[in-house]
Amino acid sequence: METKPLSVTQLTAGIKQLLEQRYSSIDVAGEVSRLTRHTSGHIYFTIKDAHASISAVIWRSAAVRLKLLPTDGEQFVFTGHISVYEPRGTYQLVVRKVEAAGAGQLAAEFERRKALFAERGWFDPERKTRPPKLPGHIGIVTSPTSAAFEDLKKVLATRPAWLQLTLAPAVVQGDAAPAAIAKAITRLNSISSKPDLILLVRGGGSMEDLWCFNDELVVKAVVESEIPIISGIGHEIDTTLADFAADVRAATPSNAAELASPDRDTLRQQLPKPSQLQHTWQRAQDSRHQHCERSTIQLTANFRHRIASRHRLLTDIRQKLALQEPQRQLRLREQTLHRCQQHLTTFQLHGRNRQRQRLEQVRQQLNWLIEKQIEASRQSISSLTRELHDLGPIQVLKRGYTISMDAEGKLLTSADQLAAGDRIDSRFHDGIAATEARKISKDSPS
């Protein structure tokens, strides 16, 4: 029985069903290329690696909600689903979330640090301090040029006019931020007029932007702060380790300002009635009298302590002046000069002796080198003389060689110079023999 062939529509529909069900939610990592932003607000691009690529799209409705948008040539992790476009039989990744390539590692590192700091007790509720309900002085740690600081000032402007604000400026993003934030918190804790409360704030951003608030330097500074801290970092959905360590965590920088101090209308509603005012005034008077009495006792004790300190200081100065008395200093310097003269004399004597010894050693060594050079030259001349003697003509003739010359005394070097009957004088090492060429035989060329 023959199987009825599928239509293109049926085949494509089947592929669409399989792909979209199988890949209804996936994470894909890769590099962005050929990115296009359409006038409709949709973003089209390609995700690729070394061996393959896939088309992708971010619909406008998703793009407006994303904190991070893709850029050409950068690596990202995309979350979405596969969609098949049936008219052309193509598929693409529909992206609903974009993270930097290292976001997964950051999340894992966040959890590791969170567990480590929790073991140290940095997040324990028992360690935290309740902020004052009505602070008179508030310290602020943030960037002075940030939008968060502007939002903070707008909210605090609705608070009591006598509220004092002190800004400890700090970088709140990047590699330099942790040290800057920790230093700002420490500075507010060390000034003479300490704030009653510190607001640690920053506007929203990606996990990478807020990462400095997960640094151990920042978290430790929050934990060790003697002044209560309200953190307002990012948006409500953003959470950092500094938030866990803070005494109070606010959803946003503006919310941190709202929690720091009640507004003027709220304070007016809390004002006591006339009868309560009289009682409050009386209690304030009693408190002031008690404070004055305690201050008098404390001032008297401090005054006596300072007098004793000045007396000890004066005694120390007298002893130091005695040591600096001119006659004493002159004697000490004369003694030092005498010791230096003795050391110099001894050094000069030893120096001259060492120079004499060194000069004698050099002289002996030079004589030895000259004698050695003369002996070497003598041996070389003797050897060359022997070689020259061995190579002399008499010594060659003694080894059996002769020198042949014609009747005119011309040197004979070839048989071509002779004819039968020519006279030949043969020179030996000890004489000359006259002969006659009876026959000329020539060697054949080799």
- 351-394, pLDDT tens digit by residue? 788 888 888 888 888 889 888 888 888 888 888 888 887 777 77
Residues 12-41 have pLDDT tens digits of 999 999 998 999 999 898 999 999 999 999
pLDDT category, 271, cuts 50, 70, 90?
low
Edge-first strand order for the sheet with 431-436 is 403-405, 423-428, 431-436
Per-residue pLDDT, averaged over 37-56, amounts to 93
Task: Kindly tell me if the per-residue pLDDT of 99 is higher than 60.
Answer: yes
Mean pLDDT, rounded, for 53-69: 92
pLDDT, tens digit, for every residue of 239-255? 999 999 999 999 999 99
Q: What is the mean pLDDT of residues 123-145?
A: 94
Strand pairing partners for 97? Answer: 79
Buried b (16+ CB within 10 A) or exposed e, 206-215: bbebbbbbbb
| % of the chain surpassing 90 pLDDT | 41
CA distance 189 to 185: 6
296 phi, psi to nearest 5 deg = -65, -45
What's the confidence (pLDDT) of residue 445? 65
pLDDT at 125: 93
Does an H or E element contain 178, and which? Answer: helix 177-190
pLDDT digits (tens, 9 = 90+) for 191-213: 999 999 999 999 988 788 899 99
Q: How far apart are CA 444 and CA 224, in angstroms?
A: 115
Band the pLDDT of 229: cuts 50, 70, 90.
very high
Mean pLDDT for all residues in the chain: 87
Q: Pick the more confident residue, 294 or 179.
A: 179
Phi-psi region of 173 (alpha: psi -120 to 50; beta: other; left: phi over 0): beta
Residue 184: band (very low, low, confident or very high) from pLDDT cuts 50, 70, 90:
very high
More confident: 135 or 324: 135
Beta bridge partners of 1: none
Quick check: 275 pLDDT over 60?
A: no
Q: Which amino acid is at 389?
A: H
How large is the average pLDDT for residues 299-322? 82
pLDDT at 155: 92
CA distance 402 to 389: 18
Residue 192's pLDDT is 93
Whether 98 contacts 71, CB under 8 Å: no
- Residue type at position 359: L
pTM for the model:
0.45
